[in-house]
Structure 1
Amino acid sequence: MTMMSLSSLSAHIPAQTSGDTSALTGVADWAVGLMETIGAPGAGLAIALENLFPPLPSEVVLPLAGFTASRGSFSLIEALIWTTLGSVFGAWALYGLGAWLGRRRMRAIAAKLPLIDLEDVDKVEAWFNRHGYKAVFFGRMIPIFRSLISIPAGIERMPVAKFLLLTSAGSLIWNSIFVFAGFYLGENWHIVEQYAGIFQKIVIVVVVLAVLYWVTTRLRKIRNRRS
C-alpha cells in the first residue's frame, strides 16, 4: 500500500461552522502530528497521555489511529499494539500514584473532607477487595472510570502482575473497537466519536445522579444524627 503523508489527514477532520478551530479538531491535529513524527508509537504516546489527562478523548485518537493504518502509514497490528501499550503505561503510572498515596494517606484526606465518613471509606475498600479484579477489567471500557480505576487499585496494592494483565485485556478490547472502526470507516472515522460521545454523556448523567443521591442521603443522615 502506498505511504501517505499524515499532514493530508487534516482534510478529513470535521470542519466547524465557526471560524475558530474546535477542541476536536485541535486534538486530531495534535494526534496527527505525533503519528506523522514517530509513526505508530505516536498513537501509543497519545493514548498514554489520554490516560493521565482524561479530557484528552481516546474516542478521537483511537479511530484516527485506525484510519491512519488504513492509509498504509503503519499496520493495523502496530496500531493495536502501540495504543494498548500506551493504555497500559498510563494506567500503570496512575497505579503508582495510588500506591504512593497509600491507604493511610487516603484515609487521612477522606477524614478532612466534608460529608465523608470513614465508615463509607471502609465500605468502598471492602467492595473493591471483593470486586477489584472485575472493576479494573470492565472499568477500562467505561469513559471517565477507565483512567481513574487504576488509582484505587494502587491504593489497595492489587498485585502488579494481575493489574497489568487485566488492564491489558480490558484496554485491548476497548482499543480494538475504536481502532477497527476507524480502519474500516476510513475517511468517515469521526462518526465513531459521535456515538462514543452519546455513551460518555450517559455515563456522566448516571454519575451525576449517583452523586446527588449520595449527597442527599449523607445530608439526611447528618441531620438525623443532630436531631
Structure 2
Amino acid sequence: MEQFTVTAEPTGGIAGWATSLVETMGGPGAGLAIALENLFPPLPSEVILPLTGFAAGNGVISLFSALFWTTAGSVVGAFALYQIGNLFGRERMYALWARLPLVKTSDLEKTEAWFAKHGTKAVFFGRMIPVFRSLISVPAGLERMPVPLFLLLTALGSSIWNFLLIMAGYWLGDQWEMVEQYVGMFSKAVLALVVVALAVMITRTIRARRTARNHEDP
C-alpha cells in the first residue's frame, strides 16, 4: 500500500496513530479510528477525518472507501453508547438524579418530554456538533429510541459531517491541519455555550429554591 506522511506529527500523536491505522488497514482503519473517537471524545474527528481525506488525495484509499468506513465507524461507536444508555435504564437514571444536588425530578421529566418531541432532530443534527456528537447517543438509549430510527439518523448525520471534513482534508492536501484549527475554535465556542447554559440553569435553580423556602417560612 502506498505510504503517505503528515506534516505536523509524522511519528507520534493522534495524527501519527491515525496515519498508522490507515496505512495498515486502509478504509477499515479509518473506520476504527472514528469508532474509537465516538467512544473517547478526546480523540478528535477534526484530526482523523481531514487526515483520512488527505490519505484519499494521495491515493492510499478511495474517497468512497473513506466516507463509507468512517460513517460505518461513526454508527458502530454511537450504537455502543446507545447501548450504554439502554442498559443503564430510566429507573437507574432517576435514582441517580435524585441524589444529585441542585436538581429536581421534574427537571429530568421535562428533559424526557423535550427528547420525546425533538429527539429525532437532536440525534440527526447532534452528529454534526462537536462535543454533542458522542453524548447525544446516551439519552437516545435511555429513552429507548427505536434502534432502526437511531441508526438511520446517526448514519445520515454522520455522513454529512464526515463528508465535509474528509473533503476539506482532500482539497487542502498537506495543509489539512487548517481544518482542525477552525473546527477546534467552533468546538470551544460550543463548549463555552454549554458551560454558560449550565451556570444559568444552576443559578435559576438556586434562586427558585430560595424563593420557595422564603414563602414556606412564616
Q: Which residue among 4, 8, 11 is the counterpart of 1:13?
A: 8
For 1:65 and 1:173, how far apart are their aligned partners in 2? 15
Q: Which residue among 35, 40, 46 is the counterpart of 2:27?
A: 40
Match of 1:70 in 2: 57
Partners of 1:88 and 1:168 within 8 A in 2: yes
For 2:177 and 2:96, how far apart are their aligned partners in 1? 41
| Alpha-carbon displacement from aligned partner over 1:23-61 (angstroms, at most 9, x marks no partner) | xx6110110111121111111000000000111100000
For 1:175 and 1:216, how far apart are their aligned partners in 2? 37
Structure 1 gaps, min length 5: 16-20
Q: Which residue among 108, 111, 135 is the counterpart of 1:121?
A: 108
Q: Deviation of residue 4 (structure 1)?
A: 2.8
Q: Deviation of residue 221 (structure 1)?
A: 1.2
Match of 1:54 in 2: 41
Q: Which residue among 1, 4, 16 is the counterpart of 2:2?
A: 4
Match of 1:226 in 2: 213
Q: Deviation of residue 204 (structure 1)?
A: 1.0
TM-score by length of 1: 0.91
TM-score by length of 2: 0.95
Give the secondary-structure state (helix, strand or coil) at the position aligned to 1:84. helix
- The percentage of aligned residue pairs carrying the same residue is 58
Q: Tell me the C-alpha RMSD between the 2 structures.
A: 1.3
Q: Which residue among 82, 97, 103 is the counterpart of 2:90?
A: 103
For 2:131 and 2:71, how far apart are their aligned partners in 1? 17
Match of 1:215 in 2: 202
Q: Deviation of residue 14 (structure 1)?
A: 6.1
Within 5 Å, give how 1:81-96 maps onto structure 2: 81-96=68-83
Match of 1:152 in 2: 139
For 1:211 and 1:193, how far apart are their aligned partners in 2? 26
* Runs of 4+ residues over 6 Å off in structure 1: none
Matched, 1:137 2:132: no
Partners of 1:136 and 1:166 within 8 A in 2: yes
